Amino acid sequence: MAEAIFLEQQLQTETRVQGFISRSHQHYIDGNWVSSVSGKSAFRGKDWRQMSPQARSTLIWRLADLMADHLEELAQLDSIDMGMPIRQAQYGTTPMAVDHMRYMAGWATKIEGETIPVSAGNFFNYTVRQPVGVVGAIIPWNFPLLMAVWKLGAALAAGCTVVLKPAEQSPLSVLRLAELVTEAGFPPGVVNVVTGYGPEAGAALVAHPGVNKVSFTGSTEVGKSIMRTAADRMARVSMELGGKSPNIICADANLKRAISGAMLGIFMNQGEVCSAGSRIYVAREIYDQALEQMGDYANRMRVGNPLDPKTQMGPVVSEEQYQRVLGYIDSARREGASLVAGGETLPEAGSGFYIKPTVFANVTDTMTISREEIFGPVVAVMPFDDLEEALERANSSEYGLAAGVWTENVRTAHYLAQNLEAGTVWINAYHIYDAAAPWGGFKQSGFGREMGHHALELYTEIKDVWINLQ
């Protein structure tokens, strides 16, 4: 009986999702759906910043509740749009998006200043944190809803208004979210969505004089071009960019956990994750054994229709990405790496850009696949002889987003945690995220931290006030 009800609900959701997809969608500006965006659209920031923190918090929380009510629908939209396995969307990213909104709703009432004991005279000196203004938020296609929410939650809590540009490959869940924004009762213009291609819609948003801050998640190359444009008017920027994250498996690691953690680290979301653990360094004494187990793991993974609950890896997002990833696989072959698993497409899976989980051995530090971000299900596995060597090679990347370490030795764990050049270090874990834990990169992986209270710094300016008491 319970199962019948569940299936019935499932079917209703699927019908709703199909209905949503088959409709044509427009931009969401000032609370209206419009076919074009005029340069003068007023983002009514004043109503929002003057609203009491409590009232703002309540609205953000209400949006989170609506997201939770529509969780299955939002999960299906992301899965259909970009190939994320439905189980991951249902139990991972969509619930995380809801948690994130709730966490940030709480912060709306807790953004405080300080009183400062100045020595310059008889003054009362205090700071306030004020919203930075209109935020242009540009997000990638790999976690459409979650990336939108990482930016929206903190910006709204801080009292900013937002113009959100989803990636052209995967706008559906964000467009549905905009409908929920209306339903939640936000004042018009607080949340706006502009769809379109990067060099057009994205670039126009970055260049717009009314945008005070650009919050970007995407490729390092586009991040740099956005910084150049923003520099002209000193618009604030924060950047969450690419990665080539190392995952170090020490000889004393719990190998079973390390293997499954490292495989999740690379193959989650088809490897289309900025923090994918795409360089695995394994202690030489366990290298052969680890490689064999990784090959088995990759070969056993169920690749297929992302809406099938049994699927562990879906297709990559687009033909462009498919060709890019296959190009990297070819480069590895040409440069002399040996294939341990995968390396080919999955034509029998029907339509869709399916690439098998791919493991390469005999990879040198200079090969293309050990240097460049692939953003696909391809991993390089390399042996190391001692810890210093592993550390040096792990750090010899222009990126510095995340790193993983597998060891049972507490000294090794802390030593590597201290010395790895990465914004996040996971010890005996990988791909763990929490709304309360700051996230962002070192080096060319960007700057600024999303999540945690650190995210509020991205969306506030500090004002210092002097009152003469003399």
Nearer to ligand ADP, 140 or 159 (CB): 140
Nearer to ligand ADP, 181 or 226 (CB): 226
Nearer to ligand ADP, 27 or 165 (CB): 165
Which is catalytic among the residues 72, 240, 272, 450?
Answer: 240
CA 30, 164, 59, 127 torsion-angle sign: negative
**Residue from 105, 152, 160, 167 that binds ligand ADP (CB under 6 A)?**
167
Query: What are 217's strand-pairing partners?
Result: 240
Nearer to ligand ADP, 201 or 359 (CB): 201
Nearer to ligand ADP, 229 or 428 (CB): 229
Which is catalytic among the residues 73, 160, 250, 274?
Answer: 274
To ligand ADP, the closest distance from the beta carbon of 334 in angstroms equals 23
Strand locations in 356-396 (E): 358-361, 378-384
Strand locations in 81-132 (E): 115-116, 123-131
To ligand ADP, the closest distance from the beta carbon of 105 in angstroms equals 26
CA 325, 433, 361, 368 torsion-angle sign: positive
Query: Where does this chain touch ligand ADP (CB under 6 A) — which range of 214-222, 263-271, 286-294, 357-365?
Result: 214-222
To ligand ADP, the closest distance from the beta carbon of 82 in angstroms equals 11
Tell me whether strands 213-217 and 236-240 are parallel, antiparallel or unpaired. Answer: parallel
**Residue from 190, 222, 332, 402 that binds ligand ADP (CB under 6 A)?**
222
Q: Listing from the earlier edge strand, what are the strands of the sheet with 191-193? A: 32-34, 27-29, 191-193, 161-165, 134-138, 213-217, 236-240, 446-447
To ligand ADP, the closest distance from the beta carbon of 201 in angstroms equals 7
DSSP per residue, 59-81: HHHHHHHHHHHTHHHHHHHHHHH
Is 135 a binding residue for ligand ADP by CB under 6 A? The answer is: no
Residue 32 CB neighbour total at 10 angstroms: 13
Is 140 a binding residue for ligand ADP by CB under 6 A? The answer is: yes
To ligand ADP, the closest distance from the beta carbon of 324 in angstroms equals 9
Is 213 a binding residue for ligand ADP by CB under 6 A? The answer is: no
State the alpha helices, DSSP H only, in 185-246. Answer: 203-207, 220-231
**Residue from 131, 198, 265, 423 that binds ligand ADP (CB under 6 A)?**
198
Is 145 a binding residue for ligand ADP by CB under 6 A? The answer is: no
**Residue from 218, 383, 423, 452 that binds ligand ADP (CB under 6 A)?**
218
Give a three-class secondary structure readout of 423-469: CEEEECCCCCCCCCCCECCEECCEECCECCCHHHHCCEEEEEEEEEC
To ligand ADP, the closest distance from the beta carbon of 276 in angstroms equals 13
Query: Where does this chain touch ligand ADP (CB under 6 A) — which range of 93-101, 181-189, 199-207, 440-448?
Result: 199-207
Nearer to ligand ADP, 407 or 445 (CB): 445
Nearest alpha-carbon partner for 152 in 165, 137, 167, 132: 137
Is 316 a binding residue for ligand ADP by CB under 6 A? The answer is: no
Nearer to ligand ADP, 83 or 202 (CB): 202
DSSP per residue, 282-349: EEHHHHHHHHHHHHHHHHH--BS-TTSTT-SB--BS-HHHHHHHHHHHHHHHHTT-EEEE--SB-GGG
CA distance 398 to 421: 10
To ligand ADP, the closest distance from the beta carbon of 328 in angstroms equals 14
Is 327 a binding residue for ligand ADP by CB under 6 A? The answer is: no
Nearer to ligand ADP, 102 or 165 (CB): 165
CA distance 449 to 312: 30
Name the residue whose CB lies closest to ligand ADP.
Answer: 198
Query: Where does this chain touch ligand ADP (CB under 6 A) — which range of 96-104, 164-172, 359-367, 439-447?
Result: 164-172
Is 372 a binding residue for ligand ADP by CB under 6 A? The answer is: no
Judge whether 240 counts as a catalytic residue.
Answer: yes
Query: What are 400's strand-pairing partners?
Result: 442
Query: Going by C-beta distance under 8 Å and a sequence separation of 6 or more, which residues neighbour residue 321?
Result: 272, 353, 375, 376
CA distance 430 to 408: 15
Are the C-beta atoms of 153 and 234 separated by less than 8 Å?
Answer: no
To ligand ADP, the closest distance from the beta carbon of 137 in angstroms equals 10
Positions in the binding site for ligand ADP (CB under 6 A):
138-140, 165, 167-168, 197-199, 202-203, 206, 218-219, 222, 225-226
Residues with catalytic function? 240, 274
